[in-house]
């Protein structure tokens, strides 16, 4: 019975961490292809969609044009998981486990390489919740070309669609 209670508590905690797009107020933009993040930041603030922050610690979510292993590593850099201090006797054990985990991770990266099915600059934009790491919203809005005028228009369309999604329309 204790295991089932723990499982229910873990499921409840995971559910509570899952954010809805309407709960997002501040967003951090990762660099995007062709400087699209700059145009998107302008349109998000100009249209009053979300607050764009330059400090990732203040963000509820992240906007990016790619997801996959490289994005996950970037999230780990920006938002390292908080660890509790281990008891004194377990520090050596944890250090050995961490070294083994790093070695295994290096082996996996070497076998996978830099191949990703999620490319940059293909017109996709993803809104990813900081806490749950879930993709809350996405859109495909590829600019016709990469002139500043067209990048700004594409960013305006993305911002408008996100605004409509956040307002429930």
The average pLDDT across 145-162 equals 96
Alpha helices, H only, the chain: 2-17, 36-46, 69-78, 91-112, 148-167
Residue 74 counted as domain residue: yes
Backbone phi, psi, residue 74, to 5°: -65, -40
Residue 168 counted as domain residue: yes
CATH number at residue 41: 3.30.160
Residue 45 counted as domain residue: yes
Residue 104 counted as domain residue: no
The average pLDDT across 34-39 equals 96
The average pLDDT across 141-168 equals 95
Residues of the domain holding 29: 18-81+120-169
Q: Alpha-carbon distance 27 to 50, whole Å?
A: 7
Q: In this predicted structure, what is the pLDDT of residue 22? A: 72
Residue 100 counted as domain residue: no
Please say whether the beta carbons of 24 and 52 come within 8 A.
Answer: no
Residue 1 counted as domain residue: no
pLDDT band at 23; cut points 50, 70, 90: confident
Residue 167 counted as domain residue: yes
Backbone phi, psi, residue 117, to 5°: -85, -5
* Number of structural domains in the chain: 1
Express each pLDDT in 115-150 by its tens digit: 444 445 588 999 999 999 999 999 999 999 999 999
């Amino acid at each position: 019975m204790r295991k089932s209670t723990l499982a229910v508590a873990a499921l409840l905690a995971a559910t509570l961490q899952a954010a809805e797009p309407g709960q997002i107020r501040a967003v951090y933009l990762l660099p995007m292809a062709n400087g699209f993040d700059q145009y998107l930041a302008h349109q998000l603030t100009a249209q009053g969609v979300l607050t764009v922050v330059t400090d990732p610690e203040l963000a509820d979510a992240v906007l990016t044009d790619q997801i996959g292993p490289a994005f996950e590593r970037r999230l780990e850099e920006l938002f390292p998981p908080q660890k509790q201090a281990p008891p004194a006797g377990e520090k050596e054990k944890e250090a050995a486990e961490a070294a083994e985990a790093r070695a295994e991770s290096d082996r996996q990266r070497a076998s996978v390489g830099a191949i990703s099915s999620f490319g940059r600059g293909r017109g996709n934009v993803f809104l990813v919740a900081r806490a749950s790491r879930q993709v809350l919203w996405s859109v495909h809005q590829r600019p016709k070309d990469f002139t500043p005028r067209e990048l700004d228009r594409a960013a305006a369309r993305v911002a408008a669609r996100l605004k409509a999604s956040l307002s429930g329309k």
